[in-house]
Amino acid sequence: MSKLPELLAPAGTPLALQAAIEAGADAVYLGGPTFNARMRAENFTAEAMRESISLAHAYGLRSYVTLNTLVTDRELPAFLEAAYFADLAGADALIVADLGGAAAIHKAMPHIELHASTQASGHSVAAAKELAALGFSRMVLAREASRTDMALFVRECGIETEIFVHGALCVSHSGQCLFSSLVGGRSGNRGACAQPCRLPDKNGRYPLSLKDLSLAEHLPELIDMGVHSLKIEGRLKSPEYVRDTVRIWRRLLDERRAATKEEMEAFAAIFSRGGFTDAYFKGAALRGMLGVRSEADKDASREMAPFTGITRRVPLSLDLTMKQNTPLTLTAAANGKTATVTGDIPLIAQNAPMNEQAVREKLLKLGGTPYEATAVAISLDEGLMVPVSRLNALRREALAALVPQKPANGSEKPHYSPIRAKGLRPKKPTARFTSPAQIPESARAYFEHIYLPLNRYAPSADGVVLPAVIFDSERDSIRAELKKAAAAGATHALVGNVGHLSLALEAGLVPHGDFHLNVTNEGSLAVLLEMGFADVLLSPELTLPQIRDIKGACDAIIYGRIPLMILEKCVGKELGSCEDCGKDALTLTDRRGEKFPVLREMPHRSIIFNSRPTVMSDKRADLLKASINGGHFIFTTETAWEAAAIMESYQRGTAPTGPVRRI
């Protein structure tokens, strides 16, 4: 039979971690006070992290610490320090999204196991291979992967595969949502998402709020695929939620079966947003996915018994040998681990020699530990004794040896050594357009490179924009489109994912990094340039001073409606009709009346753009202070005439009219 996958549980608090232990999880993931994507959770202080990880280890669980936010240059030393203290606390691995942060950890502490967070936007075999070359041993696959893509990925990726199987779903591809950040000032990529997708639109509808995910009805298939780890979302959930959800998943795993209708109802009684969805996995039409936490859901949720602490115990076997003229030996075994310790040479008893019953009583003093002795073997010569204090100390030493503390590798706190990026910033602007009809005659002279969507390429541009998401099942069609574009005259490509770099290179195109790569520090830029990118567009979340801090071949967006979300689930039916999708005619209007254009990206994904364009036409001096000499323009809904007028406003330094966003 296939090996059972790891059951990975969320722990937003020390009590939730204990609930995961109680319910039978194989591993837990938790965050410290900084750099984790759930900053609203209670999280763990340094001392609580050390104690909780030690407790988890005593029960045989692995512990992964999340350091999965984007990091700025000035934060990298603190980020590395946080990784060091997580290592000292005993973390079995770190979950990381920022490539510069991962590079800093791998350089300073190469012994640390790194897992690529879902925030790293990994959705293909090629991405896994690039991440493996950077030191990652596991990748969290995008939640949107179908069973076909998932099976192919597990078979060919070459590293451990972790998938989300239960809990809340972001409507946008993870790591690709800027809605909360650019509209509300709270960055989801920095752990402070305000969840605008859960809010109603102008008409009181919830077109972006998804039901929770559950793949419990597909568990046998996941086991047969060879998925390494099954992850439950919920670091903001209660200990009771963790306990009861993990308990059902534990039973299903141990019995190697799919959830029954009654068990799915039990999941819903714990927490539900109008039921659950498995549409991504099934590759379905992605309808019926919307859901909100209604009053009916709240009423249906059963009253969960309060979780007050761990009651289960770890089976322990003990084997003591007390022989004359030979040091005491005690062997302890639990959780598949065995430890043998030695003590003093027994003394010849003058009055009261120890017998087997007296020794057994001392060995069974396990109060305050996770263990329950299920087998005790004692072999002793007659007429011997050892001080009770020494026997107790030997027992404590054996139990401690079963949970070895992770060594600090003999090193002091690592010193951050900046990773420098090569190259210079472009001196001439670049631009992307939605269609060839938008490109004015003056654009060729104004822009160094002009890009069009891959499926709309025309010779009026010299480059193509690759889709931000390309699953393995889509690579062949993308490869064919790239070949066609190259034959028509394309020589450059904007690439938004490390897994897509090889596609551009295969087609003979010069790869330029798109802003989807989420570069917020020079270390990340250096990693991407070493991979083969000619230059990279920085994250739109950066401020001008933060942009100034980054040296090397990079640029920044200085005009346009910035994409806020990449949706696998088409929103055409919610905002209009399926016939409207792809006509560049859809608009999402929020409850305040702000209008967000929704465009289609090949093969059939929805891109939500900001309601307000970024405009810096009158801020030339500020851009130069931040070393932005060129700048990148994004044209979405503009006509060719409007695009020409915008270019002229930048040449003249004209201030914008109407509501805009500033860097």
- Spatial separation of the C-alpha atoms in residues 68 and 189, rounded to whole Å: 8
Helix, strand, or coil here: 189?
A: helix
Which residue is associated with the tokens 């107790």?
Answer: 392
Assess whether pLDDT exceeds 80 at residue 409.
no
Helix, strand, or coil here: 213?
A: strand
- Spatial separation of the C-alpha atoms in residues 506 and 636, rounded to whole Å: 28
End-to-end CA distance of the chain: 56
Per-residue tokens: 303: 């009253």
Assess whether pLDDT exceeds 80 at residue 280.
yes
pLDDT digit string, tens, across residues 35-47: 987 877 788 999 9
Assess whether pLDDT exceeds 90 at residue 584.
no
pLDDT value of position 574? 79
Q: What predicted TM-score, i.e. pTM, was given to this entire model?
A: 0.95
Confidence of residue 287 (pLDDT cuts 50, 70, 90): confident
User: In sequence order, which residues have a C-beta less than 8 Å from that of residue 500 and are 6 or more positions away?
Assistant: 124, 126, 466, 470
pLDDT digit string, tens, across residues 195-251: 999 999 999 999 999 999 999 999 999 999 999 999 999 999 999 999 999 999 999
DSSP letter string, 324-383: TTS--EEEEEETTEEEEEE-PPPEEPSS----HHHHHHHHT--TTSSEEEEEEEEEE-TT
pLDDT value of position 255? 98
pLDDT value of position 582? 59
- Spatial separation of the C-alpha atoms in residues 36 and 65, rounded to whole Å: 9
pLDDT value of position 288? 86
Find out whether 71 and 35 touch, Cβ atoms under 8 Å.
yes
Provide mean pLDDT across the span 58-85. 96
- Spatial separation of the C-alpha atoms in residues 604 and 129, rounded to whole Å: 26
Assess whether pLDDT exceeds 70 at residue 142.
yes
What is the H or E stretch that residue 314 is in?
strand 314-322
pLDDT value of position 571? 82
pLDDT value of position 478? 98
What is the H or E stretch that residue 633 is in?
strand 632-634
* Phi, psi (deg, nearest 5) at residue 534: -75, -40
DSSP state of 462: S
Q: Which amino acid is at 378?
A: I
Provide mean pLDDT across the span 570-585. 70
Per-residue tokens: 15: 């009590």
Kindly report the number of other CB atoms within 10 A of residue 257's CB atom.
Answer: 14
Helix, strand, or coil here: 293?
A: coil
Assess whether pLDDT exceeds 60 at residue 408.
no
Per-residue tokens: 629: 């000499």
Assess whether pLDDT exceeds 80 at residue 459.
yes
- Spatial separation of the C-alpha atoms in residues 198 and 204, rounded to whole Å: 11
Assess whether pLDDT exceeds 80 at residue 573.
no
DSSP letter string, 579-625: TTTTTT-EEEEBTT--EEEEEEETTTEEEEEPSS-EE-TT-HHHHHH
Mean pLDDT of the chain: 94
pLDDT digit string, tens, across residues 553-565: 999 999 999 999 9
Provide mean pLDDT across the span 606-627. 97
The share of the chain scoring above pLDDT 90, in percent, equals: 88
Assess whether pLDDT exceeds 70 at residue 497.
yes
Provide mean pLDDT across the span 24-36. 95
Q: State which of 40-54, 174-188, 241-255, 289-303 shows the largest mean pLDDT.
A: 241-255
The share of the chain scoring above pLDDT 70, in percent, equals: 98
* Phi, psi (deg, nearest 5) at residue 511: -85, 130
pLDDT value of position 569? 87
Assess whether pLDDT exceeds 80 at residue 451.
yes
Find out whether 119 and 143 touch, Cβ atoms under 8 Å.
no
Domains in the chain with CATH codes: 6-169+210-300 (3.20.20.70), 314-402 (no CATH), 430-562+610-652 (3.20.20.380)
Find out whether 208 and 141 touch, Cβ atoms under 8 Å.
no
- Spatial separation of the C-alpha atoms in residues 472 and 561, rounded to whole Å: 29
pLDDT value of position 406? 66
pLDDT value of position 352? 86
Question: Exposed, middle or buried, 100 (CB in 10 Å: 0-12/13-18/19+)?
Answer: buried
DSSP state of 221: H
pLDDT value of position 602? 87
Provide mean pLDDT across the span 349-370. 92
Q: Which residue, among 106, 124, 107, has the nearest Cα to 115 in the 3D structure?
A: 106
